[in-house]
Structure 1
Amino acid sequence: MNIKILCFMILFVSLTKADEDAEPLLDMDDMIEVFETYTSNCEPKPKKEHIKEMLLKKRNPQRETKCLRLCLMKQFEMINESGIEIVIENVVEFSHNHTQIKAKELKEIAEICAENVKNLTDNCEFAHLYDQCLVEELEKRGLKFPEIKE
């Protein structure tokens, strides 16, 4: 499997129907190792603790974690180079190919979240809050991200 696709799935759209009895699906150390391959050009340079915070979807992470999210979103073409505009078509296209969610619903979610962050000028905060919104909107629809065992 393409590493970029695996990362993307974990970041945004590797969703399953909510199941409280499900065992953790992913190993934290393995996921950190995968993401480290994409952090060499990120500024500030993230540490493992920042990748871990991102993977655990911490609601109030360190600034470096927020900037890591921005860096990855740019690499995956989910956000433009300015860092303050979501590329809705890319979010929808990729997500539709890797989830059970319909393209129309994905576009709605992506647009809701883009609207929520449109007035932010801090690129790192913008990326972090956009991701938080995606998670909340997807979970409202009964979907969740895979658990990661530590």
Structure 2
Amino acid sequence: MMQNNRMTMTNLLLMALASAVVLMGSPARAEEEEVSMTVDEVVELIEPFGDGCTPKPLREHIVEMVLNKEDAKHESKCFRHCMLQQFELMPEGQLQFNEDKTVEMINMMFPDREEDGRRIIKTCNEAMKAEKDKCEAAHGIAMCMLREMRSSGFKIPEIKE
């Protein structure tokens, strides 16, 4: 049970990072087989994190974030920022992801990919460095990271609608 709770938290961290995946099982299993969840299952898991956010996200905003809508509403982007802040991946007052914490989180699910993870974070932080809105920055970096991770061969399962 402790392993499942740890993996669920890791999965939520991945969701906060790219809001693209919720992988279940051990890191080794995640690489061997894709396990996907429905949108409703993912929303149910992360909905409680919205309680501490201002503005508090509506279900539609959480769904948009989970589905990684490029053209998401601003409220959805702000929920992403709030989650990233809660997991200290995008600290208060910062407009970029914390490189070390983000790499550490990626390494939990993708061992031996630290170099790729660090390169991706640097690339995406740099791509959004001119953005001044924290919600837009969080969303832009996350979307960039999702694209870069997929193009670099990270196995990112899709969320079932």
Q: Give the shorter-chain TM-score range.
A: 0.7 to 0.9
Post-superposition Cα deviations, 1:88-141, rounded to whole Å, max 9, x if no partner, equal: 000001101211451111111101111111111100000000001101111111
Q: Distance in 1 between matches of 2:155 and 2:105?
A: 17
Cα RMSD of the aligned pairs, angstroms, is 2.1
Question: Which letter maps to 2:152?
Answer: R
Q: Which residue of 2 aligns with 1:10?
A: 15
Q: Distance in 2 between matches of 1:54 and 1:46?
A: 10
Question: Which letter maps to 1:9?
Answer: L
Q: In the comparison of the two structures, how many residue pairs are matched?
A: 146
Answer yes or no: is the 8 Å Cα contact 1:78–1:86 preserved in 2: yes
Q: Distance in 2 between matches of 1:139 and 1:5?
A: 19
- Structure 2 unmatched ranges of 5 or more: 24-29
Aligned-pair identity in percent equals: 31
Matches within 5 A, 1:85-100: 85-100=96-111
When residues 45 and 83 of structure 1 are mapped into structure 2, their CA distance, relative to the original with a 3 A threshold, is farther
50, 53, 74: which one aligns with 2:61: 50
Q: Which residue of 2 aligns with 1:41?
A: 52
Deviation at 1:50, TM superposition (A): 0.7
Q: Distance in 2 between matches of 1:9 and 1:120?
A: 23
Post-superposition Cα deviations, 1:11-52, rounded to whole Å, max 9, x if no partner, equal: 4475777x9xx7x71021111111111110111110111111
- State the secondary structure of the residue aligned to 2:49: coil
- Structure 1 unmatched ranges of 5 or more: none
Q: Quick check: which one's strand share is greater? A: 1
TM-score (ref. length: structure 2) = 0.81
- State the secondary structure of the residue aligned to 1:86: coil
- State the secondary structure of the residue aligned to 1:26: coil
Q: Deviation above 3 Å: which 4+ runs of structure 1? A: 10-17
Answer yes or no: is the 8 Å Cα contact 2:124–2:144 preserved in 1: yes
Answer yes or no: is the 8 Å Cα contact 2:96–2:138 preserved in 1: no
Deviation at 1:83, TM superposition (A): 3.8
TM-score (ref. length: structure 1) = 0.87
Q: Using CA pairs below 8 Å that are at least 6 residues apart, which structure has the higher relative contact order?
A: 1
